[in-house]
Amino acid sequence: MTRANDPSSAFTRRTFLQALGAATLPALGHSRDAGAQPANVAPPAGIIEVGPPLVEQALLADVQRCSLPTQYAKLAMPGTQVRITHETAGPGLYTVGELRHEGYPGLVRMSLAGRLRFGTPELFRATLSAALASAALTDAEAQAQGEFVERLVDDGRNANLIVLAPHGGAIEAKTDSQAESVTAALADLGVSSWICKGWRRGGGAFERWHIRSTDLNPCSFAGLGAIAARGFAHGLSFHGMESGGVLIGGAGSLALKRQLAAAISATLRGTAIEVSVASASDAYNGDSPDNVVNWLTHTGLAGVQIEQGPAARSEHWQPIADAIACVYRSLLEAGDRPE
């Protein structure tokens, strides 16, 4: 994928996503299914059936994407997100990979791995919605109900720093707490935050609610849509890894990432947690121009992504957040804006 080395790409990405959603994939015609084909009878209104992909579809091995019939074009476009709710297993979020002409009008297609997020390899009935987050739920209510919520803190004008935690709650635990902590610590300097939180009773919040940072679309998230065209001077995003220490990536300046690494290392001195700056070969380097923390910035080159393993988040989330807040306070007070 092209790296974020063109300042004009951030503006193009922001405005394109805001208006249309991500780039569409070519629509595929009806052809032989990779699995059993259901009877050619549409399900009742408001209900879909979820089945396997066609053998030629790009989403064949993608756990987070689905393919919709063209009848749903007014509901969701390629690159946007939808909520699919299994009749008994509950809801999950998916990115629309494509719209296609389909002989069976109510069939949504996804990979075997995608269907296994609901615990079944079989064709199943569900409901489809473009409304991702539950409105008017408190965090406590969302946690009790196993739901997904979106939070925006923004005065409608701030263009200094945007702090993100797109996978908060139980998706990537404590990342939302870190984003909230940094936002509160820097409130006097003009800071905005966008946070999503998801829970699931019995566990499995990551499998149900996680959307890749390179796929998050402002057409699908009201809060993200409200700030999508702002062009922030700096972006900071908190994330969780399954293992490892702290990895600092994003398209932001190497000097800033090294400064953050030094500050975090100092606060973690005496622990076994390693802190490093991501290289171009790291899987979680976060430098894609499609990464939300990058394209939300004015230049596309001012996003920093903080990836953290379980120990860093569960045992040291607050000291890490405090160290990061100190670095950004100095940056914002000096009035530094990337060229």
Instruction: Dump pLDDT digits (tens) for 72-107.
Output: 999 999 999 999 999 999 999 999 999 999 888 899
218 has a pLDDT exceeding 80: yes
Structure tokens, 259: 């400064």
Q: What mean pLDDT do residues 283-291 have?
A: 96
Evaluate whether 266 touches 322 at the Cβ level (below 8 Å). Answer: no
Domain positions in the chain: 8-14+138-333, 31-129
Grouping H, G, I as helix, E, B as strand and the rest as coil, residue 338 is coil
- The segment with the largest mean pLDDT, out of 24-28, 42-46, 123-127, is 123-127
Evaluate whether 325 touches 185 at the Cβ level (below 8 Å). Answer: yes
Q: Out of 3.60.15.10, 3.10.20.600, 3.30.56.10, 3.40.630.100, select the CATH number for domain 8-14+138-333.
A: 3.40.630.100
240 has a pLDDT exceeding 60: yes
* pTM of the predicted protein model: 0.89
Minimum mean pLDDT among 130-139, 160-169, 236-245, 298-307: which range?
Answer: 130-139
Phi/psi of residue 277, each to 5°? -90, 130
Nearest in space to 168 (alpha carbons), one of 154, 182, 156: 182
d(CA 29, CA 19) in angstroms, rounded, equals 26
Q: Residue 70: its pLDDT value, please?
A: 93
Cβ neighbours of 148 (radius 10 Å):
24
β strands within the chain, DSSP E = 48-51, 65-69, 81-86, 90-100, 107-110, 124-129, 148-153, 161-169, 191-198, 234-240, 246-249, 275-277, 303-308
d(CA 247, CA 239) in angstroms, rounded, equals 10
CB-based burial, 36-51: b 16+ in 10 Å, e otherwise = eeeeeeeeeeeebbbb
Evaluate whether 163 touches 236 at the Cβ level (below 8 Å). Answer: yes
Asked if the 31-129 domain carries CATH number 2.40.40.20, the reply is yes
Tens of pLDDT, residue by residue over 187-197, are 999 999 999 99
Minimum mean pLDDT among 31-45, 66-80, 106-120, 178-192: which range?
Answer: 31-45
Tens of pLDDT, residue by residue over 110-148, are 999 999 999 999 999 999 999 999 878 999 999 999 999
Q: Residue 10: its pLDDT value, please?
A: 56
